[in-house]
Amino acid sequence: MIKSKNIDRRKFLKNSLLCGTFSMVSPYNSLNAKNLMDNNLVNIGIQLYTVRDLMKKNLPLTLQRIADIGYKEVEFAGYFGKTTKEIKTILSDNGLKSPSTHIEMDAIYNNPNEAIDTALEVGHEFIVMAWLAESERQNINQYREYVDLYNSFGEKCNQNGLKFAYHNHDFEFKVLDGEVPMDLLLDKTDPNNVSFELDMYWVHKAKKDPQSYINKYPGRFPLWHIKDMASNTMMADVGDGVIDFSEIFGLNKISGLKHYFVERDDPSDSMLSAERSFKAMLKLDF
């Protein structure tokens, strides 16, 4: 998702919702509400890469504003110079949880223990491999190497009470040396060690059907990115695009969905985008 050094991609609600906002949302019938509660899915989350411009300026205030919107969970894309203790305190002060964090290949290759220790200190459940640079995806043999690497790192995560996942973009779905990298990763990695974070925008951008992947690989997608696509294939705030998220959420049990995060990579007003997407999520008929 991000590059850790400069927080740039290439460089580097339960109780409150039930008591307040959730009760005002008519599309949720009682059965859907129970299913959401059983899966903890009423806790709407956001990938903080969406508001990275504000995180750079004032991380505590940004998380406060995110909480004020109504988000209950956040996924990190770098800590912007804050210590794990500071991050944990800021989350607690705002009633937020952070089930997931993004890291890069360098961390898995060179600092796997540090990545795990950091995740444990903050209180994450998942460590997510965010992004492959262009040089890291030139041929299918590189992906074959990643199968072993991810299995090994995922096993190490499991041993420490964490889970490892891989986040897709569109390039994993493009045929490379006669194979589809995403299919290779799904087929060859150990389901006990490697899960996946399914980014809905990028799947659609690659002209693939997320529902077919969820059905083909049940239980492999415990994390989702809820990112919308405009009719011109550019990114859009949730609810302003063409992706039918309600239909996709019908497969949350098959997917093994545990957490989902609203995201937009390119908002002109990042906090407004976060607010608009949150309101759209409340209107979805899961």
Helix/strand/coil (H/E/C) assignment for every residue in the chain: CCECCCCECCECCHHHHHHCHHHHCCCCCHHHHHHHHHCCCCCCEEEHHHHHHHHHHCHHHHHHHHHHHCCCEEEECCCCCCCHHHHHHHHHHCCCEEEEEEECHHHHHHCHHHHHHHHHHHCCCEEEECCCCHHHCCCHHHHHHHHHHHHHHHHHHHHCCCEEEEECCCHHHCCECCECHHHHHHHHCCCCCCEEEEEHHHHHHCCCCHHHHHHHCCCCCCEEEECEECCCCCEECCCCCCCCHHHHHCCHHHHCCCEEEECCCCCCCHHHHHHHHHHHHHHCCC
The percent of residues in the chain predicted with pLDDT above 70, rounded, is 85
> Cα 113–116–118 angle (5° rounding)?
105
Average pLDDT on 176-181 reads: 97
CATH assignment at residue 183: 3.20.20.150
Dihedral angle, C-alpha 166, 136, 205, 220, nearest 10 °? -20
CA 228 to mean position of chain CA atoms = 14
Q: How many domains does the chain have?
A: 1
Q: Is 118 within the bounds of a domain?
A: yes
Q: pLDDT per residue over 46-96, tens digit each? A: 999 999 999 999 999 999 999 999 999 999 999 999 999 999 999 999 999
Average pLDDT of the chain, as a whole number:
89
Q: Is 135 within the bounds of a domain?
A: yes
The percent of residues in the chain predicted with pLDDT above 90, rounded, is 84
Average pLDDT on 247-270 reads: 97
Confidence band for 23, pLDDT divided at 50, 70 and 90: very low
> Cα 73–75–80 angle (5° rounding)?
120
| Candidate from 3-12, 17-26, 180-189, 268-277 with smallest mean pLDDT | 17-26
Confidence band for 8, pLDDT divided at 50, 70 and 90: very low
* Better pLDDT: 103 or 16: 103
Q: Is 6 within the bounds of a domain?
A: no
Q: Is 68 within the bounds of a domain?
A: yes
pTM of the predicted protein model: 0.88
Q: Is the pLDDT of residue 114 over 70?
A: yes
Q: Is 5 within the bounds of a domain?
A: no
Q: Is 261 within the bounds of a domain?
A: yes
Q: Is 1 within the bounds of a domain?
A: no
Q: Is the pLDDT of residue 255 over 50?
A: yes
Q: Which pLDDT does position 40 carry in this prediction?
A: 64
Q: Is 82 within the bounds of a domain?
A: yes
Confidence band for 42, pLDDT divided at 50, 70 and 90: confident
Q: pLDDT per residue over 260-272, tens digit each? A: 999 999 999 999 9
Average pLDDT on 23-51 reads: 65
Q: Which pLDDT does position 29 carry in this prediction?
A: 39
- d(CA 88, CA 97) in angstroms, rounded, equals 9
Q: What are phi and psi of 180, to 5 degrees?
A: -100, 115
Residues of the domain holding 260: 14-283
